[in-house]
Amino acid sequence: MSRNQVLFERAQRVIPGGVNSPVRAFRAVGGTPRFITRALGPHIWDAEGKRYIDYIGSWGPMILGHGHPAVLEAVQKAAIDGFSFGAPTEREVELAEAIIAQVPSVEQLRLVSSGTEAGMSALRLARGFTGRSKIVKFEGCYHGHADALLVKAGSGLATFGFPTSAGVPPEVVQHTLVLEYNNVEQMEAAFTTQGAQIACVMIEPIAGNMNFVRAALPFMRRLRELCTQHGALLVFDEVMTGFRVALGGAQSLYARLIPGFKPDISVFGKVIGGGMPLAAFGATRQIMQQLAPLGPVYQAGTLSGNPVATACGLATLKEIARPGFYDDLAAKTRALVQGLEGAAREAGVPLVGDSEGGMFGFFFADHLPQNYGVVMATDKERFNRFFHGMLDRGVYLAPALYEAGFVSAAHAADDLAATVQAARQALADEHLHA
């Protein structure tokens, strides 16, 4: 047995499924999860000492790659000064200022410890602010594991969803409406029948939890109009896209194309913590002042704004705010996707990809999917063979076809070339066995 297998067996005795977050278990692709021992730059090493080029980057946070010297130094210094005080610190203020400086829709924010917590709090805030109960989400978007968001679509429009997890009572999701991503007609119909009761619409503007699907421009434009018209808040879940697809997040991309475009509430995580447990939600001062201790919406956290996490986040934000950072990152990520498409073309395999900033996705299909149903109809068996072909060759992609990939500033031209070469070999192999 390999050391990874030994550790996985041991893990399964004491941790359900052997993992602390389900997708790490490789259930979608099969095989044994790699236990990671260390990481540096664009690489991670498993318990066997095998090195991989890392395209997960801790599922998004590691935009500078692993062990960036400036970030390490900031974290070490902060740790010496104290792990946690449960009292205000200057760094929390600095981090809030640094985020707000890049995101014009956010005038105030609150720091929390996970994307789930931020999304859940944003939802409560939207309901508290509007005095309404109903919320809208889109099929295929993931906003963390708060009860009200673990919902799949009902049998038809205007019916509310069903829980996707045991332990979520149907009553808890009775106010959650699930719509198809990029479906303007369905959204219009939902607002026509229920617009006056909708507190907010929550969306991943580029959906990284169905691989990589962009909200189309006319869809986003109409969504903004409908929310404004009906007094519902537009909540942008930028846990993945924030400071990842652009310095100002996905909202800055839509703002370039739709004059005056802004979401009402924004949710951040991942990159803003640089790999430490840190997330945030923010909005205008008027909305944020509904929160305790100023307003009636309760929200709190023992470790919120943790001094070591904020040091890590601040040092990360400082590096990514340097001129040209996103141009370089985007060019590398685009080159990677083009390389994968080229390798597939040579092998006669249909593969189509897309990217924005340091986030990318690819599908074994002829056209980019526009919604969850189409994503899930792409070739899963081929993806799984490809995933293992790449893993065997030292390239660590996300272990499920519905997950996005991430490139960091530390990925060098050599790493990208090695990845494309591995893809050529994996596709040639899998083609023979297809």
Ligand X SMILES: Cc1ncc(COP(=O)(O)O)c(C=O)c1O
Give the residues lining the site for ligand X (CB under 6 A).
59, 114-116, 119, 142-144, 204, 208-209, 237, 239-240, 269, 279
Between 138 and 191, whose beta carbon lies closer to ligand X? 138
Q: Which of 399, 406, 326 is nearest to 360 (CA)?
A: 406
Minimum distance, C-beta of residue 281 to ligand X, in the bound complex (Å): 11
Is 327 one of the catalytic residues?
Answer: no
- Least spacing, CB of residue 19 vs ligand X, in Å: 13
In angstroms, what is the minimal distance from the CB of 70 to ligand X? 23
Query: How many CA atoms are closer than 13 Å to the CA of 227, on its beta-carbon side?
Result: 27
- Determine the 3-state secondary structure of 216 from DSSP: coil
What's the closest the beta carbon of residue 206 comes to ligand X, in angstroms?
Answer: 9
Which residue, 22 or 86, is less far from ligand X as judged by CB? 22
Which residue out of 54, 237, 354, 415 is catalytically annotated? Answer: 237
Residue 44 phi/psi, 5-degree rounding, is -130, 155
145 versus 230: smaller Cβ distance to ligand X: 145
Q: Minimal distance in Å, beta carbon 121 to ligand X?
A: 12
> How many CB atoms neighbour CB 123 within 10 A?
26
Catalytic residue from among 134, 262, 270, 332:
270
Q: How many residues does the chain have?
A: 434
The residue whose two tokens read 């236990």 is 35
Shorter beta-carbon distance to ligand X: residue 389 or 399: 399
Using CA atoms, how far apart are residues 311 and 74, in angstroms rounded to an integer? 6
- With respect to ligand X, which residue has the nearer C-beta, 196 or 300? 300
Active site residue 270: yes
**Could you tell me whether strands 359-363 and 405-406 are parallel, antiparallel, or unpaired per DSSP bridges?**
antiparallel
The number of C-alpha atoms within 13 Å of 355 and in the hemisphere containing its C-beta is 22
Which is catalytic among the residues 52, 55, 142, 254?
Answer: 142
Which of 115, 389 has the CB closer to ligand X?
Answer: 115
Cβ(278)–Cβ(312) under 8 Å?
Answer: yes
Residue 15, Cβ density class (10 Å: 0-12 exposed, 13-18 middle, ≥19 buried)? exposed
Contact residues for 337 (Cβ-Cβ < 8 A; gap 6+): 353, 354, 355, 360, 362
Does residue 293 have a cis bond before it (omega within 30 degrees)? yes
Cβ(179)–Cβ(134) under 8 Å? no
CB of 209 to ligand X, least distance (A): 5
Distance (Å, rounded) from C-alpha 277 to C-alpha 57? Answer: 14
Active site residue 237: yes
> For ligand X, which is the closer residue by CB, 142 or 243?
142
Question: Considering only CA atoms, which of 119, 7, 29 is closest in space to residue 383?
Answer: 29
Q: Which is nearer to ligand X, 145 or 222 (CB)?
A: 145
Calculate Rg over the CA atoms of the chain: 21
Q: How far is the CB of 348 from ligand X (least distance, A)?
A: 33
Residue nearest to ligand X (CB): 115
By beta-carbon proximity to ligand X, the closer residue of 237 and 264 is 237
Q: What's phi and psi for 276, nearest 5 deg?
A: -100, 160
Contact 329, 355 (CB under 8 A): no
- Closest contact distance (angstroms) between CB of 165 and ligand X is 14
Break the chain down into helix, strand, coil percent, rounded to 5. Answer: 45, 20, 35
Minimum separation from the CB atom of position 277 to ligand X (A):
8
**Could you give the CA distance from residue 315 to residue 257 in angstroms, rounded to a whole number?**
31
CA–CA gap between residue 118 and residue 137 (Å, rounded): 16
Instruction: Work out whether strand 206-207 and strand 213-214 pair parallel, antiparallel, or are unpaired.
Output: antiparallel
Q: Annotated active-site positions, please?
A: 142, 237, 270
